[in-house]
């Protein structure tokens, strides 16, 4: 089949405002190139959407927001799926592949404070909301006095909770806040020196069936090679470090000219041990760089942190 054979494409998406925004964003770019194709969205509820009374790390971690969508894709109920790349496990089910990675939005984390104060100025013992082990560990490393309070829900819910006395501040991904046009709520963009992002944060990916060449050709329109190189290095690093183990792991790659700068972090959940390292290499060899950074950090003691957990 060639792309010219398409009449209707069914796109799988979670039903949250952010997920739908991201899906519409991808569809708009595909539609510009192929106005002859009709795109329809099929909303799919994932386990991560249903279980909201426990921290993500207690429910199952990676894959919570994608498994049901992937099942629909494998069953042929949808033709492609749009995901936040940071939600994706480092390995896809047999028969599926990430065939496009979009240009990245701001990958940093942000602080939203009802007090209007930056992280360093929050009062002693301030209550900061997050459901992320990665964010919690780095917050504790920076401010051991803070009380980290679990926070679940979509962007709207978390921003609403940030205005209540239950929290003095919350930490979210900048990308979601920006995409939903809540930038005016941001108190501080957290530097990667303080809060290294999750692997893939800020990027979207499009997942398709591996044998569907027509759809793979179609979605190449939204693929960004430089973002792909950066997040591939991050995800290779995550895989080698044991992306499924329940310890805080972060990775952030930046392509500048011909160089890829990759930073990695592994921490104990309480933030008492925090190991950082970085390497630079060719952006055309992201797999080599991701593996090399992981090996150096493992040699420096990252494996001990993982074993402790």
Q: What is the pLDDT of residues 83-120, one digit of tens each?
A: 999 999 988 999 999 999 999 999 999 999 999 999 99
CATH of 3-103+203-223, one of 3.30.1120.80, 3.20.20.70, 3.40.630.10, 3.40.190.10: 3.40.190.10
221 three-class SS? helix
Both tokens of residue 198? 């999750």
58-75: average pLDDT: 83
Q: How many CB atoms lie within 10 A of CB 156?
A: 14
- Domains 3-103+203-223 and 233-308 fall in the same CATH topology: no
Task: Give residue 51's pLDDT.
Answer: 67
* Domain 109-190, CATH class in plain words: alpha beta
Superfamily of domain 233-308: Porphobilinogen deaminase, C-terminal domain (3.30.160.40)
Please say if 109 is a catalytic residue: no
Residue 19 has pLDDT above 80, yes or no: yes
Is the confidence at residue 256, as pLDDT, over 90? Answer: yes
Structure confidence by residue, pLDDT tens digits, 216-243: 999 999 999 999 999 999 999 999 997 6
Q: pLDDT tier at 47 (50, 70, 90 boundaries)?
A: confident
Catalytic residue among 79, 87, 168, 212: 87
pLDDT tens per residue, range 168-181: 999 999 999 999 99
Q: 184: pLDDT confidence band, cut at 50, 70 and 90?
A: very high
Helix (H, G, I), strand (E, B) or coil at 279: strand
Domain ranges of the chain: 3-103+203-223, 109-190, 233-308
Please tell me the pTM assigned to this model: 0.92
Q: DSSP for 74-100, please give it.
A: HTTS-SEEEEEGGGS-SSPPTTEEEEE
* Residues near 181 by beta carbon (within 8 Å), at least 6 away in sequence: none
């Amino acid at each position: 089949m060639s792309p010219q054979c398409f009449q209707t494409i069914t796109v799988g998406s979670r039903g949250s405002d952010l997920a739908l925004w991201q899906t519409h964003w991808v569809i708009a770019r595909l539609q510009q190139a192929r106005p002859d194709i009709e795109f329809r969205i099929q909303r799919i509820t994932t386990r991560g959407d249903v279980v909201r009374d426990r921290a993500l790390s207690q429910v199952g971690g990676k894959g919570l927001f994608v498994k049901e969508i992937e099942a629909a894709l494998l069953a042929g109920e949808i033709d492609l799926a749009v995901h936040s790349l940071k939600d994706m496990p480092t390995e896809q089910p047999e028969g599926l592949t990430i065939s496009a990675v979009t240009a990245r939005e701001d990958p940093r984390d942000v602080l939203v404070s009802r007090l209007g104060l930056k992280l360093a100025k929050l009062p002693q013992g301030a209550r900061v909301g997050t459901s992320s082990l990665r964010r919690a560990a780095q917050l504790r490393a920076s401010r051991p006095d803070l009380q980290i309070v679990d926070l679940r829900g979509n962007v709207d819910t978390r921003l609403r909770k940030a205005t209540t006395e239950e929290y003095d501040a919350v930490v979210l991904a900048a990308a979601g806040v920006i995409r939903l046009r809540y930038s005016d709520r941001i108190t501080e963009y957290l530097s990667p020196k303080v809060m290294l992002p999750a692997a893939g944060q800020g990027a979207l990916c499009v997942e398709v069936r591996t044998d569907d060449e027509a759809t793979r050709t179609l979605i190449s329109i939204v693929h960004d090679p430089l973002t792909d190189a950066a997040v591939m290095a991050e995800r290779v690093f995550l895989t080698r470090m044991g992306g499924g183990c329940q310890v805080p792991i972060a990775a952030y790659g930046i392509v500048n000219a011909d160089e890829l700068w990759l930073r990695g972090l592994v921490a104990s959940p309480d933030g008492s041990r925090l190991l950082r390292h970085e390497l630079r290499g060719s952006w055309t060899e992201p797999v080599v760089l991701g593996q090399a950074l992981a090996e150096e950090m493992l040699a420096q003691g990252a494996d001990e942190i993982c074993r402790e957990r």
